[in-house]
A and B are shown apart, each in its own frame.
Chain A
Amino acid sequence: MFYRSHVLVCTGSNCNIKGCQGITEALRRELTRLSLEQEVRLVETGCLGLCEHGPALVVYPEGVMYVRLTAADVAEVAEEHLLKGRLVPRLLQPTATVDSGYSLNMSPFFSKQKRIVLKNCGLINPDSIEDYVHADGYIALATTLDTKTPTDVIDVIKKSGLRGRGGAGFPAGRKWEFTRWATGSPKYLICNADEGEPGTFKDRLILEGDPHLILEGMIIAAYAIGATKGIIYIRGEYDLSIRRMEHAIAEARKLGLLGQNILGSELEFDVEVCAGAGAYVCGEETALIESIEGNRGEPRFKPPYPAQQGLWGKPTCVNNVETLANIPAILQHGAEWYQQIGTANSPGTKVFTLTGNIINSGLIEVPMGITLREVIYEIGGGIPEGRSFKMAQTGGTSGGCLAEEHLDIPMDYDSLAGHGSSLGSGALLVMDDSHCIIDLTKCFLKFFVHESCGQCTPCREGTPALYSIIDKLSRGLATESDMRLLKRLSRTMQSSSLCALGQTAPVPVLSALVHFNEEVEAHFKGDCPTCKCHTARGGRQSAN
């Protein structure tokens, strides 16, 4: 069937909440009414990235995006654009105008991005393996099986410099190598999709938008490390991700892309989905393994590392969704190609979720080393309501808070670490000048108090203690010794907590102390320059 036009309706979670179901139905009705069903193909696709402006749709081949749609708007788009070929200017995405160019590729939101992981997201129907295969899907897998040995694959990934996208940035190739050479059978490959970091939703949208890309990455990884069994551990709240992934697995099995003798080779590998139960700590790989085994989600002591003794005591490799999503492209285009993108120590791209006080909140993929300023002002469209930038938190709740003077540092693993923050899970929270740093820090700590699993003392006791000091500070009641304790306690937690939860919980606190010292001092003296959060001296109690 040849269609003259494709209409792609975003059905990512964010647009789902905003009612894209109604948009799809209205469009289907209109296409029937105008007898365009044979000419125009309606595709329900993954996240288009401009979540702030959803529900949205794109008309191809022109590449015109319409945003903030209602069912009535859809009728107009169908009648004007699809039937008569005229744009509907009032519904165009914000940066597009009829004169300056309306194609998606011309908008700074898209033109500044470099899409490797998200190359199909918002372009194909995630529930259709046909769409994926026709977008050159599974070619990387087929050529790898034909031309490369497992050690070749590991060498390519090592050479590409790909680092784990879950937050820690450990070289992916080395992790694979450890599992490859570990003794024990069977070996397991786990895809960590327990995205628990508040404000992060990239893995969810990758899973929803292009589930076969993850499967292809996993099959290649399984071939490299010698795993026969794969598990995708998806956060329990991610209904749509779970549903689409299970559908993708079933379709792949039917075509012999999973199971025995994959694509006629000797490779045997199968995947199942395991739903998490909502604990933040289960994003930590050993707690995740405990959870799959049916135990309480508590981190294990390391060593032994999962590569030696992981799931059911067998060698296990745990990779983040985004890490696996990079694999097919690296195998297809080569390690040299990948190294040219991004920076020397952090090659490739990074997917970020933009949230907070930013005009274009949504999902983006940019080369590593891009500055915060470019992301916030060029792609993100700046700060709304004429307010000015105050701080950005990278890496999710456990990341550091960066101030205005950091807007020009390159965003990669090492540069951010040098400024007391991290790339982390890819959350980018932007705050304008109406927010109080102490109030925010309190919010973050409250989250950690709730999510600490309680297994090790520094984290279990440390998080509430940190919270109570910041609470006192916000009310202007903190003493000199409280402030000393705050720093000492933070250092103790960083050095002696069992897992990254306790080790990174003090990061926002410490970065606030350094980067927003004046504001902290003001609170210490009993004044809050922004929200008057101190209550002890006559102010009001803040939200928390």
Chain B
Amino acid sequence: MKSLAGLRAIRESMHQPSNRLNNETTTRIMVGMGTCGIAAGARTVLLTVMEELATRNLQHVAVAQTGCMGMCEKEPLVEIEVDGQKTTYAYINADKARKIVLEHIVNGSPITEWVVTKS
């Protein structure tokens, strides 16, 4: 497996263009970025999520923004979709966002007290 190892070395030396939907994407994070979300601080949440994913090198996660989810009162809203199962978190800030990435995505246990809806 000499050549494959060589290719892997090349691949690892390259910068990773991630966050593109592909076959390996199993998890999606949607951040509500309607006017309501932005006003409540969704941009900081989004940037924190992205930073956290990059630090942890989570290749299987895609991040997207979405419009108003309809619960403007509870913004910033973050929706996590793992294998088709959706969980929506409310009143998220940068700290909470970091914890969600760790607990929900890395450890696989949703933080129930922040959840508003589940599918």
Given A2-B54, A145-B3, A263-B6 in contact, is the A63-B46 Cβ separation under 8 Å? no
Within residues 1 to 55 of chain A, which ones have a CB less than 8 A from any CB in chain B?
1-6, 39, 41
Residues of A with C-beta under 8 A to B2: 145-146, 263-265
Contact of B63 with A4 in the complex, beta carbons under 8 Å: yes
Within residues 39 to 74 of chain B, which ones have a CB less than 8 A from any CB in chain A?
46-47, 50-51, 53-54, 62-67
Binds B, one of A131-139, A324-332, A411-419: A131-139
Residues of A with C-beta under 8 A to B64: 4-5, 61-62
A483 within 8 A of B: no
Within residues 1 to 60 of chain B, which ones have a CB less than 8 A from any CB in chain A?
1-7, 10-11, 14-22, 25, 28, 32-35, 38, 46-47, 50-51, 53-54
Contact of B67 with A138 in the complex, beta carbons under 8 Å: no
Residues of A with C-beta under 8 A to B21: 60-61, 63
Contact of B67 with A1 in the complex, beta carbons under 8 Å: no
A86 within 8 A of B: yes
Complex CA–CA separation, A261 to B34 (angstroms): 54
Contact of A131 with B46 in the complex, beta carbons under 8 Å: no
A141 within 8 A of B: yes
The tally of residues in B whose CB lies under 8 Å from a CB in A reads 37
Selected contact of B66 from candidates A85, A138, A255, CB within 8 Å: A85
A407 within 8 A of B: no
Within residues 228 to 269 of chain A, which ones have a CB less than 8 A from any CB in chain B?
255-256, 262-265
Nearest residue in B to A267 (C-beta to C-beta)?
Answer: B3
Contact of B14 with A39 in the complex, beta carbons under 8 Å: no
Residues of A with C-beta under 8 A to B20: 6, 60-61, 123
Nearest residue in B to A2 (C-beta to C-beta)?
Answer: B54
A-B pair number, CB within 8 angstroms: 104
Complex CA–CA separation, A262 to B11 (angstroms): 15
A149 within 8 A of B: no
Contact of A39 with B46 in the complex, beta carbons under 8 Å: yes
A130 within 8 A of B: yes
A302 within 8 A of B: no
Complex CA–CA separation, A89 to B115 (angstroms): 32
A333 within 8 A of B: no
Residues of B with C-beta under 8 A to A134: 11, 14, 16-17
Residues of A with C-beta under 8 A to B19: 2-6, 60-61
Measured between C-beta atoms, what is the minimum distance from B36 to chain A in Å?
A: 11
Complex CA–CA separation, A2 to B63 (angstroms): 9
Residues of B within 8 A of A (CB): 1-7, 10-11, 14-22, 25, 28, 32-35, 38, 46-47, 50-51, 53-54, 62-67
- Can you identify 19 A-B contacts, CB atoms within 8 angstroms? A2-B19, A3-B18, A5-B19, A6-B17, A6-B20, A39-B47, A41-B17, A60-B21, A84-B33, A84-B34, A85-B66, A128-B17, A130-B14, A130-B15, A130-B17, A134-B16, A141-B7, A142-B3, A255-B10
Given contacts A2-B54, A130-B14, A263-B6, 14 further A-B contacts (CB under 8 A): A2-B51, A2-B63, A3-B18, A3-B50, A61-B25, A61-B28, A85-B34, A85-B67, A130-B17, A143-B3, A143-B4, A146-B4, A264-B3, A264-B5
**Which 8 pairs of residues, A with B, have the shortest CB-CB distance?**
A2-B54, A263-B3, A85-B33, A145-B3, A142-B7, A85-B65, A142-B3, A142-B4
